[in-house]
Amino acid sequence: MNTTKTDWPSSLDDNELDELDRYLRAHADDGHLLLDGVHGLLSALAVGPLQVLPDEWLPEVLHDPFSDEDEGNRVLALLAKLNDSISAELDVDAYEPILGEVDTETGPVLSAAGWCEGFSRGIDLRAQLWEKRLADDPQLMELLGPVMALAVDEGVLTADTDFDKLSDEEYDECLAQVSAVLAAVAQYWDEHPATEAELDAIAQAPAAGDDHDGPPRQRSGHWVH
């Protein structure tokens, strides 16, 4: 099917991304997600097994009361637009992860650390189902391979065995596959939805805590789309 101009997803423009980025930075403490992390969080929810409503994910993003009603409405509208754009961009193969920049001895470089941190927290919001299916079905783990490799490389996830750091070429290759990974994971859950047995097991299990192990990750730089 051909995609006309009017069908193209309504994504945030550069000015809107800057505006949301500035707000998040102005209200961020150690361990809080910045724009790249929020995009990763919402991306995980967009392709995940069960719907997660804003009332559940907004506390992962917003931590201070708004200074006034207009500011609150504006920030919520930007977050809603960012959230809606993800599935729409995936549908037309236009998705790109929002990355941050980190300072190194040789200058600033692009980093998926923040996006991976957010993606991990998005999985955490339905952790029991994700963990059970990842343990039971190696296909899902295989589909997530490039994202997992980035997350391990950035120290967001720990691995049972030691892995060599990704080369620049391997890192870029994994980044280039993120859009395809998300589309494949979304299709996986559409074709293999959560079973009644899985949902019953989750309902009977203790709720997962919301503590994040380890020290908060430090990031610097600005969003890069």
What's the rounded Cα separation, in Å, for the pair 31 and 212?
Answer: 9
HSE of 158 in the Cβ direction (CA atoms, 13 Å)? Answer: 4
Question: How many Cα atoms sit within 13 Å of 162 on the Cβ side?
Answer: 1
Burial of 100 (0-12, 13-18, 19+ CB in 10 A): buried
Half-sphere exposure of 124 (CA within 13 A, CB side): 19
Q: pLDDT digit string (tens) for 137-159?
A: 999 999 999 999 999 999 999 87
Q: What angle, rounded to 10 degrees, do the helices at 113-124 and 35-46 form? A: 40
Give pLDDT tens digits for 89-107: 999 999 999 999 988 888 8
Spell 185-216 as b/e; 16+ CB within 10 A means b: bbebbeeeebeeebeeebeeeeeeeeeeeeee
Domain residue ranges of the chain, discontinuous segments joined by +: 10-204
Residue found under tokens 């009977």: 204
Q: How far apart are CA 218 and CA 59, in angstroms?
A: 20
Average per-residue pLDDT for the chain: 88
pLDDT surpasses 70 at 219: no
pLDDT score, position 163: 78
Q: Token digits for 134?
A: 């990842």
Give the tokens for residue 2: 């051909």
Task: Give residue 5's pLDDT.
Answer: 38
Distance CA 80, CA 88 (A): 13
Residue linked to tokens 């559409």: 190
Q: Residue 201: pLDDT band by 50, 70, 90 thresholds?
A: confident
Q: Top-level CATH class of 10-204?
A: mainly alpha
Provide the pairing of β-strand 100-104 with 107-111: antiparallel
Residue 8 confidence (pLDDT): 52
Which residue, among 61, 67, 64, has the nearest Cα to 34 in the 3D structure? Answer: 61
Q: Where are the alpha helices (DSSP H) in the chain?
A: 14-26, 35-46, 54-57, 69-91, 113-124, 127-136, 138-143, 145-153, 168-176, 178-191, 196-204
Do residues 43 and 182 lie in contact, with contact meaning Cβ atoms separated by under 8 Å? yes
**For position 9, what pLDDT does the model report?**
60
